[in-house]
Chains A and B, each alone.
Chain A
Amino acid sequence: MTTTAPPPAAPPAARRRRRRTTSDTGLSRVFRWLSTGAGALILLVLAAVAIFLLIEAWPAISAGGDELSARVSWFPEDANLVTFVGPLVFGTLLAAALALAIATPLAVGIALFISHYAPRRLASALGYVVDLLAAIPSVVYGLWGALTFAPLVYPVWDWLASTLGWFPLFAGPASQPPRVMLTVAVVLAAMILPIITAVCREVFLQTPRLHEEAALALGATRWEMVRTAVLPFARSGIVSASMLGLGRALGETMAVLMILSPGTLYSFAVLQAGQQQTIAANIAAQYPEAPPLGVSTLIATGLALFVITMAVNMAARAIVARRKDFSGAN
């Protein structure tokens, strides 16, 4: 054991040289460069986006609040960039969190049904249908949400406001038409459902057969088997699936733009119109008529969104990495 230190140093060098001379020629070599280039390109693009955001946002970041409100008509008086971005960040996080709260239990349920309860034929058909949901363009979700879903859902929101109005989230009166955050959250949940379901399904299917059979052999019912064998095994997979969905919910623009009546308050009232707004929808709404400094301000909010999304993804990575042993990847 102690003498193994020198040998490993030699073989890798030899192996590398051999690979170069024998197999790494012609097309194989070209392919290696292509794939290396593709990998490097991702890093380049990410860096380019970050640099672009910083450069373009700089005029707004360096300008004071007074200058911004003087030269950008929609910039509120007595505000600076931070107090301007604050409510937008709040709205973005609220929308994404609500969507996630609605979508995750539903997705886990669907995935469990597909992986452990449904007959095989039905399971594959259902999985296919759920994947199809991901193929619907977000602008179509937006149109559907604004024109069809919102009018339908008003009685429910009205009931929520009148019976659960004491809870800050459901403070009434419910706005009519319901161009409110809760409507947006439901539509966003439908949009992120497929990705969460697909990942969860794959993770559940990875549960070691032996664990499941052992649980059943100990007299567990199917629900107990799912609870004691499948869910603990899949926990980090569910987390990373949710984070993928969260990423999409954070950046979703069209559906929010078309459904929500925006406002810039720190408000939890998700049944009232004109309370919150998300960063992405705000950029889309204000960009067409924005003066140069206004564009910089919007790009600064985009930078904030970029940072949030990066943070969310890194957090997800960290969680998945910490529980590597149990993730679906092995």
Chain B
Amino acid sequence: MERRVKLSRFSRAGSAVVIGALALTLAACGSDDPVGNATGESTGDGSTADTVSDLSGELNGAGASSQEAAMNAWRAGFQSLNADVTVNYDPVGSGGGRTQFVEGGVSFAGSDAALDEEEFALAQERCMGDFVEVPLYVSPIAVIYNLPEVEGLQMSGETLAGVFNGDITSWDDPAIAADNEGVELPSTRITPVNRSDESGTTENFTEYLAAAGGDAWPHDPSGDWPVQGGQSAQGTSGVVQTVQGGEGTIGYADASQAGSLGTVAIGVGEDFVPYSPEAAAAIVDASPRLEGRGAGSLALELDRDTDAEGTYPIVLVSYSLACLQYADEAEAELVKSFLGYVASEEGQQQSASAAGSAPISAELRGEIETIVEQISAS
């Protein structure tokens, strides 16, 4: 009796274990299957066979964290077209990415700045010749303000510099009034809000203020806010939330995060240009190229003080770095098709919706595609 009971219990437990194990294996099959099927179908399907390459392998990159959100979108998009490819991107920061790239640790890198002289020589050595340095990520920075009764505020570079340096302290200051004719401005105190952490956004914004602010901005461009003793907050969301939290506040943030806050139209030449993706892409086209950097480089000297019509000068431009020649054929193919995808209209749309970047212009795309086409194995 006792023995029989034990046995049946044992077998029940045993069958439970077997069923559990079976379920697990089946589940494992299930999770594997869709991927296998998807690749099978898409490669078997004639219509998509052209777009789906037989690329496979792993592509490693590292660099600017500003590109991280866009890079995630690009990786996902590229991997859905090339199921056997894995793209990795380590957002170690621009400097770390450039170092890893010139040392040969990664195949490509993202960087908020062009290579400096020392890195330039190292990159040429690493690439056995010219390297690719193309602006593929253009992120506009909006100047946001919280002043409910005033819409469509306009400011010239000098006024903006005065406000952020703390020299212009009231919204009805004559300098602001001169930029906004016919607009009734309140006498509210101005509270400038900046990033409390070091950031590329701050660096680009201070670069703009230094270029366009004239004497009103006595500080050097830097990733750290140079003015002591003001409102500040951690990260883009912190700045946006702080600007929202007070009245009479003004700050700067990634344009995609501006939300319902008002954005300032920036004085360019005689006009005031409100932020738009097209205007942000236009400043990249209007800026002169750095000379003498080889066939693969489209490095820019961003002309933040430009007079060109319809350009929005406060942008963060981040480069993609790669080699024109790789020793390994598979690596060359991977880099070529990945950068090709990133530069494509689809790739730029992906980053625009995921990271709020401004898609590059058709003209720039043409130039970049010519360069990317030249990537090959030596």
Contact = CB atoms under 8 A, between A and B. Distances in A.
Interface of A: 73-74, 146-147, 150-151, 173, 175-177, 179, 257-258, 261-265, 272-275, 285-286, 288-289, 291
B374 interface: no
B231 interface: yes
Contacts of B223: 73-74, 289
**CB-based closest 6 A-B pairs:** A177-B246, A177-B245, A274-B229, A176-B246, A273-B231, A261-B231
Given A176-B191, A263-B228, 4 more contacts: A147-B245, A177-B191, A261-B196, A273-B230
Contacts of A177: 191, 231, 242, 245-246, 249
Contact of A286 (B95, B197, B246, B249): B197
11 contacts: A146-B245, A151-B245, A173-B189, A175-B231, A175-B246, A179-B233, A274-B232, A285-B234, A289-B197, A289-B199, A289-B223
Contact of B232 (A146, A173, A262): A262
B245 A150 contact: yes
A275 B231 contact: no
Contacts of A175: 191, 231, 246
Contacts, number: 76
B247 interface: yes
Contacts of A261: 196, 230-233, 242
A288 B197 contact: yes
B250 to A, nearest CB: 12
Contacts of A275: 229
Nearest to A180: B231
B222 A73 contact: yes
Contact of A265 (B199, B228, B249): B228
A274 B230 contact: yes
B140 to A, nearest CB: 21
B189 A176 contact: yes
Contact of A73 (B224, B238, B241): B224
B192 to A, nearest CB: 10
B259 to A, nearest CB: 15
B196 A262 contact: yes
A95 to B, nearest CB: 16
B103 interface: no
A288 B65 CA distance: 10
Contacts of A257: 234
Contacts of A264: 228
Interface in B240-293: 241-242, 245-249
Interface in B199-246: 199, 222-224, 228-234, 238, 241-242, 245-246
